[in-house]
Amino acid sequence: MFEIKPIQSMEAIPLRQMVISPDSPLEESKYFGDENEDTIHIGAFAKDQLVGAASFYKEEHDKLSGKSMYRLKGLAIDPGHRNELRGQTLILFGENLLAQNKIEVLWCTTKVSNLPYYQHLGFHETEHTYNDGEKGLQVLMVKHI
């Protein structure tokens, strides 16, 4: 059993660093917009321990159209808690909050190997790609909520 609830950005940062960029300094896991009032950070807890985090930023993308959109970034699940639907539950919880606030579009970028995961969650691959150095080829994904 686990609990999903809002968290502060400072709670998400160490988990992001451990999962997303373990070879980088902690500072690099702090994202622009983390402290914005309209940014939403959500955590998954197992026995009071943070094991998953996702952040949602009010951010438009110049390749997308929509009246209101947010970006999913920094989805991080502790490796010991993968395949337990933590990521899926975090994203769906976030989508619900966004929908309640009349947000229409959720977007993210992901590496090609993660496309099936996001497609399973209802995201659609766009034709927009870019190379992000160490991360490799990134694909813009979008979901209308």
pLDDT digits (tens, 9 = 90+) for 42-56: 999 999 999 999 999
| Banded model confidence at residue 4, pLDDT cuts 50, 70, 90 | very high
- Sheet of 69-77: strand order equals 3-6, 40-46, 49-57, 69-77, 105-111, 137-144, 124-131
Q: Quick one: CATH architecture of 3-104? A: 3-Layer(aba) Sandwich (3.40)
> The whole model's pTM is what?
0.92
Instruction: Categorize the per-residue pLDDT at 2 as very low, low, confident or very high, splitting at 50, 70 and 90.
Output: confident
